[in-house]
Amino acid sequence: MFLGKHSRAVFIIVTVTFLVASVFAVGRVIARFGIVKRHGWDDYVFIAAWILAFGLSFTVGFGTSMDFGDGDGDTTRLRTQYTAMVMFIPALMTAKISILLLYLDIARQSQKFLRVGSYITLAVVSVGSAILTFMTALRCRPVEAAYNFATRDPSCIPIQNIWLSAWPINIATELAILILPIPALATLPLTPWRKSMVILSFILGVIFIGVIDVTRIYNLQLAVIDLEQATAPRSVNVGMALLWSAVEVNTAVIGAAIPTLSPVIRRLAPSNALCLTSHGSTRTLRQSSPSQTGSQNSPSPNALEHHSNRAGFHSTPPTIPEQATVYFDFINLEQPKCIVDMRGSECVKYCAVINLLLFLNGFIYSMLFSINSSIPIVKARTQAVGMVSACYVGAGILSPTIGCAILLCVGLKATIATSLAISCVGTLIFWPCGAVGSYPGFVVGNIMVGASLGIMEIVATTRRPGS
């Protein structure tokens, strides 16, 4: 069946990771459909991601059984390889969409930052996955040339270039999924140990996805180098990239299932091991102060009953808390304290954030100009001037429009998060552009980094003592 030890190892790794992902997926399905008996769009999308993960794992396993690395002219192998390439982006992005829909369900009644950030990330993931899927499927003209080397006069975009270009979107969305729930989870009224476990349950899978994504991109970068030096067949490197692609998708399925497994864990673990104190229990309804009565973000009785039932508590609470809270599994999200109501000692950390932004602003400026001066593809003076001008275009044009709009409409914290997110995406663009030697890509990266630096300046100079 297998033509070499390498193919056997790839088959075993892909199969084992999918089986582990299936165990977590079955646990989530049992928790939502069997124990809690309340499910939504996030569960349906998760099941679709699980099915796509099976399709990708089966395709990669079937291809490795015939050895991806040999016989570049074999049409069957090339068709299998082409199918796996096309399925990767939809499978990964579907798993991310299920996580974001879960965030939106949690932040339905409160946590505006989590809700708005999830909507923005969801839009980026949806649009990016659609574009990248069509680019991968239609990268050759005619399309048949992607899996048939006998096609005459083909014109193809290398798959390595497409995946390297998609890497900033993958990493940026993974970082967003990682960071978005942390502010809400950090305010939970739990003991430090339980709070750490809750946060870890949300971010553990995303961390593994990011690590595997970096490994996959590293193999793609080696593939580009080998192609330029003609030292290895194309399918050898793409086969390794497909291995890590399947592992990444299976890990994404695991990460999407982990936050919803608490009902199953409560059923399997001894009851005394999961005993909650009155301080950390989500069964205890905290009464708000009189000043919080009639809050705009207060959830309705139906919303409270909905979240309590999804958490596995089927009895309706006897009283309705007036404070804006959201009940989900074992967490209780509360509205953060307003900054104008804080004492002087409580504002120290926010002043530290502003100072940190100013430091990052100067540090990124220095690093950006240093990198621009050492890029090998920039050989003419006009190209160097163009890259520096692109940075100032982003800072002078995009940052006032985007930064001021977000600051006025959403708030200071959202503006800080937006500036850091844009800086992250702009910085991540440099790696694939350096690998494929794309000057326009460097220009786009400079525009985005410049815009983020301008927004940081707006944030740092907006809130001053006494203003």
DSSP secondary structure string, 34-87? III----HHHHHHHHHHHHHHHHHHHHHHHHHT-TTS-TT-HHHHHHHHHHHHH
CA distances in angstroms from 441 to 176, 225, 233, 320, 422, listed in the order given: 22, 19, 27, 54, 15
Q: What is the largest CA-CA distance in the chain?
A: 77
SS3 188: coil
d(CA 282, CA 198): 13
How many of the other CB atoms lie within 10 Å of CB of 216?
A: 23
Q: What pLDDT does 338 receive?
A: 65
How many of the other CB atoms lie within 10 Å of CB of 172?
A: 22
Q: Does residue 142 have a cis peptide bond before it, meaning omega lies within 30 degrees of 0?
A: yes
> Average pLDDT per run of 10 along the chain, which is 467 residues long?
65 88 90 83 90 90 68 68 86 90 79 81 88 86 80 79 77 80 72 74 71 75 59 55 84 85 77 45 40 41 41 41 45 56 71 80 83 78 84 84 81 78 80 76 87 84 52
Write out the two tokens for 154: 């083909």
How many of the other CB atoms lie within 10 Å of CB of 268?
A: 10
Closest CA to 119 of 135, 136, 101, 137: 101
d(CA 78, CA 63): 9
d(CA 402, CA 2): 55
Q: What pLDDT does 47 receive?
A: 92
Count CA within 13 A, CB hemisphere, residue 354: 13
Q: How deeply is 450 buried, as exposed, middle or buried, from its count of CB atoms within 10 A (0-12, 13-18, 19+)?
A: buried
pTM of this prediction? 0.69
Rg (CA), the chain: 25
CA 181 to chain centre: 12
Q: What pLDDT does 5 receive?
A: 63
Residue 325: enclosing H or E segment and its boundaries?
Answer: strand 325-328
Residues 6+ apart with CB under 8 A from 119: 104
Q: What pLDDT does 19 receive?
A: 92
Q: What pLDDT does 51 receive?
A: 93
Residue 327: enclosing H or E segment and its boundaries?
Answer: strand 325-328
Q: Are the C-beta atoms of residues 166 and 128 closer than 8 Å to each other? A: yes
DSSP secondary structure string, 5-25? HHHHHHHHHHHHHHHHHHHHH
Q: What's the length of the chain?
A: 467
Domains in the chain, CATH or no CATH each: 5-267 (1.20.1070), 282-336 (no CATH), 341-462 (no CATH)
Q: What pLDDT does 238 receive?
A: 61
Write out the two tokens for 128: 């990016």
Q: Which residue in the block uniquely carries the two structure tokens 């949690």?
A: 106
Report the amino acid identity of residue 246. Answer: A
How many of the other CB atoms lie within 10 Å of CB of 416?
A: 20
Closest CA to 374 of 441, 450, 434: 434
Pair type for strands 155-156 and 325-328 = unpaired
Q: What pLDDT does 73 receive?
A: 53
Q: What pLDDT does 280 receive?
A: 40
Which residues, listed in sequence order, are joined to residue 141 by a DSSP beta bridge? 155
- Cα torsion through 457, 460, 463, 464, rounded to 10: -110
Q: Are the C-beta atoms of residues 156 and 139 closer than 8 Å to each other? A: yes
Residues 6+ apart with CB under 8 A from 130: none
